[in-house]
Amino acid sequence: MKIEGKTCLKIGISVFLLYLCIQYWSAFTAFLGTLIGASAPLLIGCVIAYIVNILMSFYERHYFPKKQKRFWVKSRRPVCMIAAFLTLVVVVVLLLNIVIPELMAAVQLLLAQVPGIIEDVLGWLDSKNIVPQDLSAFLSGIDWKARLEQIFGVLTTGVGSVLGTAFNVVSSVFSGIVTALFAIIFSFYLLSGKEKLGGQFDCIMKQFMKDRIYTATRHVLSVMNDSFRKYLVGQCTEALILGVLCTVGMWIFKFPYAAMTGAVIAFTALIPVAGGYIGAAVGAFMILTVSPMKALLFLVYIVILQQLEGNLIYPRVVGSSMGLPGIWVLAAVTIGGGVMGVAGMLVGVPLAATAYRLLQQSVRKHKEDHKVEVCDISENRKENAPS
């Protein structure tokens, strides 16, 4: 077999680069971390643009679709883009206005009630002679309200120098604002010229890839885009339904903090499988400051609601659109959360759905090409190949 000089050059460069990565791994990871940190606004902008594009495409399909005059065609993109961004801003502002005031009120109520609860518990322990007299006297002499306020103050202001803490907070806030501003500006550019950028990217791939690799790459990207889009739309719809049902049910049963708890559960429900329970824990803690019995009843209600949601709503809204069995959803959430935390939980499911669909298509193609008995992974059963 004749080996061309260009092939030898590519192999040599690849081996040399691999050697450099192994030999200078620490420096390579530091450089990679610096590069990712520097490009954070661009990466965040891409994420924002992808999410906003779903809303923008929906608005564009309904923005006078039959109007073909120059004014309507030219105004369709900017009007729909602004409407999509405004929709996200309104949702975030509503969540903050609903959650933060009631959360602060619950914390203040907790600070006011916990000292009395502690004193009642200490009195009961003293009457039963469960703790020694000297320890009971020491605990009774503590000003629990002052201690809780001091702990809450440390948690909110931080530990250390006031000036140093203030400087760190200001610098972090300023850095976050600058990053968010650049990310939003970059997302505007991406959305305004997405067709042109997509055409340029497609042209580059076609120029530097072989036809077989180009076709396969286009197919993988198409399946991945479809999986992420269906997951985002389905998960947001499911979270909205769950939040509304939780709020309405809490109003019917007269549980406190209904709006706040429903908003928190709707937000945390974006995390598959475990998100609703995280929101339920926050809601139960808030209700506990008012009535322990209502908090217990709320947990019972949430468990029943989660069962209905998991067996009726989720399979129809998210599961059927994703085409991913429940066991693989759980595996994707577990592995993604272990690798990247909450972000991994959100990204793991659509990535697993992409891999599952590609594997399913590969199995079907193999069955059609070779005409053999192949296991259908979607149904977990075997089918006879067509003769």
- pLDDT tops 70 at residue 133: no
- pLDDT tops 80 at residue 171: no
When comparing pLDDT for 102 and 224, which is higher? 224
- pLDDT tops 70 at residue 304: yes
- pLDDT tops 60 at residue 319: no
Q: Band of the pLDDT at 82, cuts 50, 70, 90? A: very high
Task: In whole angstroms, give the CA distance from residue 152 to residue 142.
Answer: 16
Q: Band of the pLDDT at 131, cuts 50, 70, 90? A: low
Mean pLDDT calculated for residue range 267-281: 76
Task: In whole angstroms, give the CA distance from residue 41 to residue 186.
Answer: 8
Q: Any idea of the CA torsion for 113, 119, 125, 129, to the nearest 10 degrees?
A: 180
Task: In whole angstroms, give the CA distance from residue 207 to residue 193.
Answer: 21
Write down the pLDDT at residue 387.
Answer: 35
Q: Which of the residue ranges 192-201, 299-308, 338-347 would you say has the lowest mean pLDDT?
A: 338-347
Q: Band of the pLDDT at 327, cuts 50, 70, 90? A: confident
Q: Among residues of the chain, what percentage have pLDDT more than 90? A: 4
- pLDDT tops 60 at residue 334: yes
Classified as helix, coil or strand, 128 is coil
Write down the pLDDT at residue 251.
Answer: 92
Mean pLDDT calculated for residue range 324-337: 77
Q: Which of the residue ranges 9-13, 55-59, 173-177, 337-341 would you say has the lowest mean pLDDT?
A: 173-177
Name the residue among 241, 292, 255 with its Cα closest to residue 110: 292
When comparing pLDDT for 81 and 273, which is higher? 81
Which DSSP symbol is given to 298?
H
Q: Which residue has the tokens 């009642």?
A: 120
Task: In whole angstroms, give the CA distance from residue 154 to residue 217.
Answer: 52
Write down the pLDDT at residue 162.
Answer: 43
Mean pLDDT calculated for residue range 343-359: 84
When comparing pLDDT for 307 and 86, which is higher? 86
Write down the pLDDT at residue 211.
Answer: 86
- pLDDT tops 60 at residue 381: no
Q: Band of the pLDDT at 328, cuts 50, 70, 90? A: confident
- pLDDT tops 90 at residue 161: no
* 17-61 pLDDT, tens digit each: 888 878 888 887 888 888 887 888 888 889 899 989 988 988 988
Q: Band of the pLDDT at 141, cuts 50, 70, 90? A: low
Mean pLDDT calculated for residue range 266-280: 76
Write down the pLDDT at residue 232.
Answer: 84
* 216-269 pLDDT, tens digit each: 899 999 989 988 888 888 888 888 888 888 889 999 988 888 888 888 888 888
Task: In whole angstroms, give the CA distance from residue 236 to residue 274.
Answer: 15
Name the residue among 268, 250, 267 with its Cα closest to residue 259: 250
Classified as helix, coil or strand, 4 is coil
